[in-house]
Amino acid sequence: MNLADTLNLGCACQTLSLPRLREQLETGPALDGLAARLSVSHPHLFSASAVFLDSGVAQQIREAVAAIERVIALPAWRDQALARAPSIAARDHGPVGAFMGYDFHLSDAGPRLIEINSNAGGAVLNAALARAHSACCNAFGQVLDPHDALRSLDTVFVDMFRSEWALQRGDAPLRTVLIVDDAPRQQYLAPEFDMVRELFAAHGLTALVADAAELQWRDGQLHHPALPVGTAVDLVYNRLTDFYLQDDTHQALRLAHEAGAVVLTPHPRTHALYADKRNLIALSDTDLLARWGVSESDRALLRAVVPTTQRVGIDNADALWAGRRGLFFKPAAGFGARAAYRGDKLTRRVWGEIMAGDYVAQALVPPSERLVRVQDDTHLLKLDLRAYTYRGEVQLMAARTWTGQTTNFRTEGGGFSPVVVLPTVPAPLSQVGHEAAQQFNTH
């Protein structure tokens, strides 16, 4: 057990500063009162406790992300991923996809990739949260206090969208950006949409939050009625979970994307190449990766990080049922925790639904745990870790803590948590651990 594990299981200090959180959330007049509203509407969105991560584990995550990006760049990978996707995924206008999310569980043997998301929410909220945590004791000051990397994240995020724009439009000026979802005001992370809008506005862009059904395709351009007459939409930050734009209400966006008339990020191709759960089968098949020309070093890294995953079908149904207690089942085209099941919780009825659907079975990697304090008591919550990335580079790591079978934001003491990567300085950090434990014990 490394120091990070020791602190996660033994230090229940609360490091979230609510005044600082309000300051970080309410960055403009349009966001005034957001912190108070969230405390009522989303009482378990933010955890008051940070999650600690060993620097070696953090480096392994970065290396795994880079290795996966190299695999996905291979023609053989592209061919197999696009062959099973709708034809719209073949469209390649240049952009690669903003706010990718690589989700990990932290096992005793290191990080394990659970899934890849092509429209990972929460990055802007987590950046604000990370800047709102402060040290619980003197020894933690240099690892918890906001530093240059956190302060520059807003610019990093905007530059990411400008990069997506340039990949399709070159040096043309970017003017109008829409954050698009279905009924965006009803989405759980709707407050983040407003924060992203204000972030774009602070960098000189006209930005709106829009319902996809409100978009209009006419005269070879994408329009929205809230924009001035004659002003087209330049870029869409896509938060839809209709990954291939198949719903009738998404027709305008689909036509604009197919014509290359709007810069859409992330887009159908992103989902096909990265987020389809069947991709995990190939990533965990070292023989297949070898035939595709993946280097031995990358194969070794992926073998250590990606749990074995297989397609659920008639031919392996009996074996999967027999070994279900060591498996986790998830829909190939799903997202989040929807219709995902631990094998040891399966009933025959649910198993029948899995067999009738399109599922993959992944070797079960139980989540690690984080000790949190709730009033005068302490509880161990499950945790997972998300790496927000762009073009193979990790921009931010954040954690979620919860109780229950799957991740949720209904757990007292749980929610999003900032990730604190501990420096590799053994002696001082040993003292950090002792100080943290002592401080908690005196509370």
For residue 175, what pLDDT band results from cuts at 50, 70 and 90?
very high
SS3 label, residue 369: strand
Cβ atoms of 98 and 166 within 8 Å: the answer is no
For residues 149 and 351, the model is more confident at 351
Helices (H), 294-395: 296-305, 317-322, 348-356
The type of residue at 78 is R
For residues 91 and 336, the model is more confident at 91
Question: How confident is the model at residue 163, as a pLDDT?
Answer: 99
For residue 147, what pLDDT band results from cuts at 50, 70 and 90?
low
Question: How confident is the model at residue 335, as a pLDDT?
Answer: 73
For residue 442, what pLDDT band results from cuts at 50, 70 and 90?
very low
Check whether 396 has a pLDDT greater than 70: yes
Question: How confident is the model at residue 440, as a pLDDT?
Answer: 44
Average of per-residue pLDDT across 75-104: 98
Question: How confident is the model at residue 405, as a pLDDT?
Answer: 80
Question: How confident is the model at residue 441, as a pLDDT?
Answer: 42
SS3 label, residue 15: coil
Return the residue matching tokens 């960098």.
Answer: 203
Average of per-residue pLDDT across 293-317: 97
Tell me the helices (H) and strands (E) count for the chain, helix number first.
18, 17
Cβ atoms of 303 and 64 within 8 Å: the answer is no
Question: How confident is the model at residue 142, as a pLDDT?
Answer: 57
Question: How confident is the model at residue 14, as a pLDDT?
Answer: 93
Question: How confident is the model at residue 188, as a pLDDT?
Answer: 97
Check whether 98 has a pLDDT greater than 50: yes
Check whether 388 has a pLDDT greater than 50: yes
Average of per-residue pLDDT across 137-145: 58
Helices (H), 259-388: 268-270, 279-283, 286-291, 296-305, 317-322, 348-356
Question: How confident is the model at residue 425, as a pLDDT?
Answer: 58
Cβ atoms of 46 and 405 within 8 Å: the answer is no
CA distance 136 to 420: 13
CA distance 108 to 196: 36
Cβ atoms of 142 and 200 within 8 Å: the answer is no
Check whether 395 has a pLDDT greater than 90: yes
Return the residue matching tokens 């695999």.
Answer: 71
Q: From 1.10.150, 3.10.450, 3.40.50, 3.30.1490, which CATH number describes the 308-363 domain? A: 3.30.1490
The span from the first CA to the last CA of the chain, in angstroms, equals 25
Check whether 294 has a pLDDT greater than 60: yes
For residues 406 and 8, the model is more confident at 8
Within a 13 Å sphere around the CA of 119, how many CA atoms are in the beta-carbon half?
25
Pair of tokens at residue 221: 């351009």
Average of per-residue pLDDT across 220-248: 97
Bond preceding residue 225 cis, omega within 30 of 0 = no
For residue 114, what pLDDT band results from cuts at 50, 70 and 90?
very high
Average of per-residue pLDDT across 44-56: 97
Lowest mean pLDDT among 80-84, 306-310, 436-440: 436-440
pLDDT > 70 in the chain, percent: 92
CA distance 239 to 224: 17
CA distance 119 to 123: 10
For residues 437 and 128, the model is more confident at 128
Which conformational region is residue 90 in: left (phi greater than 0), alpha (psi within -120 to 50 degrees), or beta?
alpha
Domain ranges in the chain are 3-292+366-441, 308-363
Check whether 432 has a pLDDT greater than 70: no
What's the mean pLDDT when you consider all of the chain? 93
Check whether 430 has a pLDDT greater than 60: no
pLDDT tens for each residue of 306-357: 999 999 999 999 999 999 999 999 999 877 667 889 999 899 999 999 999 9
Question: How confident is the model at residue 222, as a pLDDT?
Answer: 99
Average of per-residue pLDDT across 249-253: 99
For residue 149, what pLDDT band results from cuts at 50, 70 and 90?
confident
Check whether 25 has a pLDDT greater than 50: yes
Question: How confident is the model at residue 429, as a pLDDT?
Answer: 46
Question: How confident is the model at residue 427, as a pLDDT?
Answer: 46
